[in-house]
Amino acid sequence: MARTFLPKAAAPDARLTAVAERQARGTGVSLLLALRPEQWTKNLLIFAALIFAEKLFDPAALRAALAAFAIFCGLSSVIYLVNDIADREGDRQHPLKRRRPIAAGEVGVGTAVAVATAVGVAAVGAAFLLNIQFGLVAVGYVVLMLLYSGLLKHVVIIDALTISVGFLLRAVAGAAAIGVVISDWLFVCTILLALFISLAKRRHELVLLADGATGHRRILGEYTPALLDQMIAIVSAATLIAYAFYTISPETVAKFGTDRLVLTIPFPLYGIFRYLYLVHRRDGGGSPADLLLNDRPLLGCVLLWVGTVVLIIYGSRLF
């Protein structure tokens, strides 16, 4: 009797606490949370082209990259709002996503639509003001992500590939913003790394929800942990091999005038292994941005990689 009585007695208190928290936060704060500013770290890919095109200390290019970053933060927030509107019923079945403001009822659908429209129009307009090529990439990103929210996320394998292309378009946008062509190496390494992260996220959802996975998202029923583990193993190996070949390729050595980029290989090795450890042993991977910001070894690895790359490429200018 006691085992059934205690949860029933605790449930009203939990509901009252949740209502009190929503009232205390207010609509403005809830709306800000719905924009998911913690996910804006994904848009740091915008700066990849700036670094590898050797324009990091070019004031005009740096200003363009910063503007591109801000625009993509707006565009990605629009997609998050649209996705949360479309998924609000399924998110309520998820132990973590049910806390999202739209799923929790903190932000109304009408308000979310109005904000998404306003921010989307402003961001796309700003993208074309930056330059036409960047504007076209920005529109392509929005169209692809809207297709994902409505259709592509329900197609097995295509769902993960679409998310990966979304990451790739961030890197392409960074190149377009500063007027350079994205290199083949950046193209390959970005999409492989993004696919690795996307598949790890699918695995996290599948393991976390267990028998309730299909209730949250039907497409999860098409995957199994074993299948995803095989895909992740293939993609992680391909990512490391592609990056290793990039660092030692004659084209790279000639471009930067140094063969020392090979010294950065340990960083992606550790980073991918650490990510796999967090996915398999710490039940991580649901939110790559949260994982990066909250896991100090992983964050330190990324920062050390960026610092080492900048030091190798720009060393002669810095000292």
Closest among 176, 205, 154, 166 to 67, alpha carbons compared? 176
| 211 confidence band (pLDDT: 50, 70, 90) | low
Which band of pLDDT confidence, cut at 50, 70 and 90, is reported for residue 26? low
Residue 202's nearest CA partner among 159, 147, 148 is 159
Q: In a 3-state reduction of DSSP, which class is residue 55?
A: coil
Task: Give residue 308's pLDDT.
Answer: 96
In the predicted model, is pLDDT for residue 214 greater than 60? no
Q: At a CB cut-off of 8 Å and minimum separation 6, what does 58 contact? A: 178
Q: Where are the domains of the chain?
A: 26-182, 183-319
DSSP per position, 60-92: HHHHHHHHHHHHHHHHHHHHHHHHHHHTHHHHT
* CA pair distance 103, 129, nearest whole angstrom: 35
| Second-level CATH architecture of 26-182 | Orthogonal Bundle (1.10)
Distances 61 to 51, 125, 134, 137, 203 between C-alpha atoms, Å: 10, 20, 13, 17, 38
What pLDDT, on the 0 to 100 scale, is given for residue 316? 64
Q: What is the pLDDT of residue 212?
A: 60
DSSP per residue over 127-148, as a string?
HHHH-HHHHHHHHHHHHHHHHH
pLDDT band, very low/low/confident/very high, at 177 (cuts 50, 70, 90): very high
CB 213, CB 221: distance < 8 Å? yes
Angstrom CA distances, 286 to 35, 39, 81, 105, 290, stand at 18, 12, 18, 22, 8
